[in-house]
Chain A
């Protein structure tokens, strides 16, 4: 029996919604789980059968983890240190500063490449190696080098290495925006008397403002969630949030899922907000500006 075109279309559309919804549930369920766990009382973290909803929801985990509030601590799960707030401060300072440096100097380099070819195409691709070769291969000598020059366990040390490793993204992504600025606009400024620097700061950068913001937020995602370099360079003094979270692992206090979840949600939510703001630019970012929308 032949189907009409509209019948076929309705079936196609139905199948699409089913497939997408199934994947949507799979994508969202773990996120839901960690959020709900963060509101669960300690008896529900590890129960059988599992509690799918926190009942009743409690803020105890948040109050205890983030503010060290003892009165919310229940029995042996209390975590009394106030480290997360310090880590939050460290993470913020390190991520924002290194990202700022990366975007600022990255866009300068990108401008030079786009207009003056200060790096050949081959060099530009070699720059990508900074990102493509696993950082694990240099962390040992890096930490020894940092020890020697006194940068180990400092914010500046981590900022510097984040600056280095995110630079390829910054250069490539901002270049893809700068390439879209018409050359004649710059030349108009130049012939009207603007110096090269002035042209960059008064004409080019303002014109790619939204691109710069997107690049900034994109790199912020990378620096905010980085784990390996932070683990090795800042082990004791200046921990970042991902490292702080990993300290709950294998602790002698047993499984403290609710506390971990409260911390994890706190780390992830800002990242998700940032990511959703620049959701249209994510493809451009992750593909080094090669894919545009």
Chain B
């Protein structure tokens, strides 16, 4: 078969006769990609947010009749919530819990990641063991804790045997310890998160700057603080920010294990909102509270997003993602 034969043989397959207007087609295509998101917003998220607004300015509980003719009471509920000391304590508890557990996760996660970032024998096994806590259903974590933490339970027993000193804190019933217990559980549960993020960050750091520093005679300590930590800044912030936000929302463990008790020692924001709404059935107060928390969280999240946007850019640079040309912007 020669080239000439082919060229002579057939007429070119010409442009299809039904030539679509490109601009219209692109617009339609973009819209159909976005349609599910728009639908979700319109039919799920918007009604819910509107209802929440409605309930936070109307007085209604389930004992009253139909919710649509509840009394309008303006901002009274917001005033009530903001002057409620229990709410103030819940905010503080949540912040303390989130901060404490985030720092804990980060410190342990980073330490483990640093010890693991160079290959060694058994690395894969350690990696698998280390991520297991993260792959445990949060409710299961709570029940496991219950089985292990009662006063004469295995944890205290193990520590007593190992140290030889009587060790009998009541993790579950001492109001001074309860919030710490949940924080420790959160740390146990989510250190793997910080660990995998930091490990991914550490292994992605280019080797050259570290080797260059080594040749220039820098100690491990100096290299860590002056080369690795600055290069890791985006990853570090990412690990802290995401963990903090997740911890602010923590509910399954706190609720399953303590239901806010003992006393009100573990009454974090999610728990308090849940109790107000589903135990005292003060739907309206719950809604007002939710609204305030939502606004608070939006402020925190917007701040977090600003951080993340900046850090994502430096991360993308680190992965040397060359800008692929975008079509039809």
Direct chain A–B contact by Cβ atoms under 8 Å: yes
The residues of A with any CB-CB pair to B shorter than 8 Å are: 13, 16-17, 19-20, 23-24, 26-31, 33-34, 37, 45-46, 48-50, 52, 105, 108-109, 111-112, 115-119, 121, 125-126, 128-130, 132-142, 144-145, 160-161, 163-164, 167, 179, 182-183, 187, 193, 196-197, 221, 224-225, 227-228, 232, 241-242, 245-246, 248-249, 257, 260-261, 264, 267-268, 271-272, 274-276, 279, 282-284, 286-287, 290-293
Contact between A138 and B139, CB atoms less than 8 A apart = no
B265 within 8 A of A: no
User: Known: A134-B297, A242-B139. Contact between A116 and B33, CB under 8 A?
Assistant: yes
Q: Which residue of A lies closest to B123 (CB)?
A: A20
A-B contacts, 21 of them at CB < 8 A, read: A27-B191, A105-B36, A111-B33, A116-B29, A116-B326, A125-B308, A132-B245, A133-B298, A134-B293, A140-B278, A141-B48, A145-B51, A164-B45, A179-B321, A228-B251, A228-B274, A242-B138, A268-B140, A276-B135, A290-B308, A292-B319
Q: How far is the CB of B141 from chain A (nearest CB, A)?
A: 8
Q: Which of B282-308 contact A (CB under 8 A)?
A: 283, 286-287, 290-291, 293-294, 297-298, 301, 304-305, 308
| Contact residues in B for A27 (Cβ distance below 8 Å) | 129-130, 132-133, 188, 191-192
Q: Are B252 and A293 in contact (CB under 8 A)?
A: no
Q: Cβ of B72: which chain A residues have Cβ within 8 Å of it?
A: none
Q: Is the CB of A242 within 8 A of B287?
A: no
What CA separation (Å) do A283 and B109 show in the bound complex? 13
Q: Which residue of A lies closest to B301 (CB)?
A: A132
Residues of A with C-beta under 8 A to B34: 109, 112, 118-119
Asked whether, in the complex, the Cβ of B287 is within 8 Å of the Cβ of A28, the reply is no
Task: Give Cα A45–Cα B140 distance, bound, in whole angstroms.
Answer: 16
> Which of B77-85, B200-208, B210-218 is the contact stretch?
B200-208
- Nearest-neighbour CB distance to chain B for A38, whole angstroms, equals 10
Q: Evaluate contact between A140 and B304: CB separation under 8 angstroms.
A: no
Q: Are B143 and A264 in contact (CB under 8 A)?
A: yes
In the complex, are the beta carbons of B301 and A282 less than 8 A apart?
no
Least CB distance, B208 to chain A, in whole angstroms: 19
Contact partners of A19 in chain B: CB under 8 A? 111, 115
With A227-B251, A287-B197 given, can you name 5 additional A-B contacts, CB distance below 8 Å? A27-B192, A45-B147, A138-B290, A140-B277, A164-B45
A33 touches B147 (CB 8 A): yes
- The 8 Å CB contact of B290, one of A130, A140, A144, A268, is A140
A291, B126: Cβ atoms under 8 Å?
no
Residue of A nearest to B248 (CB): A134
Beta-carbon contact of A145 and B136 below 8 Å: no
A193 to B238, CA, bound (A): 42
Asked whether B26 lies within 8 Å of A31 as measured between CB atoms, the reply is no
Instruction: Give the nearest-CB partner of A110 in chain B.
Output: B33
A51 CB → nearest B CB, Å: 9
Given contacts A129-B298, A135-B249, whether A28 and B129 have CB atoms under 8 Å apart is yes
A141–B52 touching, CB < 8 Å: yes
Instruction: Determine the residue in chain A with the shortest Cβ distance to B39.
Output: A105
Q: Are B37 and A145 in touch, CB under 8 angstroms?
A: no
Complex alpha-carbon distance, A257 and B146, angstroms: 9
Q: For the complex formed, measure the closest distance between the CB of A219 and the CB atoms of chain B, giving whole angstroms.
A: 14
Residues of A within 8 A of B137 (CB): 224-225, 227, 241-242, 245, 264, 267-268, 271
Q: Does B223 contact A (CB under 8 A)?
A: no
A52–B122 alpha-carbon span in the complex (Å)? 26
A129 to B321 CA separation, bound complex (whole angstroms): 25
Find chain A residues with CB under 8 A from B139 CB.
225, 227, 242, 245-246, 264
Q: How far is the CB of A252 from chain B (nearest CB, A)?
A: 16
Distance in Å: Cβ of B292 to nearest Cβ of chain A: 9
- Neighbouring A residues of B120 by C-beta, 8 Å: 13, 16
Complex alpha-carbon distance, A50 and B158, angstroms = 9
A245 to B305, Cβ gap below 8 A? Answer: no
Measured CB to CB, the nearest residue on chain A to B157 is A50
In the complex, the answer to whether B199 meets A183 with C-beta atoms within 8 Å is no
Query: Which of A50, A141, A221, A274 is packed against the most chain B CB atoms within 10 Å?
Result: A141
Give 1 or 0 for each of B1-20: 1 = CB within 8 Å of chain A CB.
00000000000000010000
A86–B8 Cα distance when bound, in Å, is 69
B231 within 8 A of A: no
Q: How far is the CA of A139 from the CA of B290 in the complex (A)?
A: 9
Q: Take A196-B25, A196-B29 as given contacts and tell me if A167 and B136 are in contact as well, using a CB distance cutoff of 8 Å.
A: no
Residue with the greatest number of chain A CB neighbours at <10 A, chosen from B196, B287, B305: B196
**Residue B131 is within 8 A (CB to CB) of chain A in the complex:** yes
Query: A133-B298, A164-B40 are known contacts. Are A24 and B33 too (CB-CB below 8 A)?
Result: no
Contact of A116 among B126, B154, B328 (CB under 8 A): B328
Task: List which B29-44 residues lie within 8 A (CB) of chain A.
Answer: 29-30, 33-34, 36-37, 40, 44
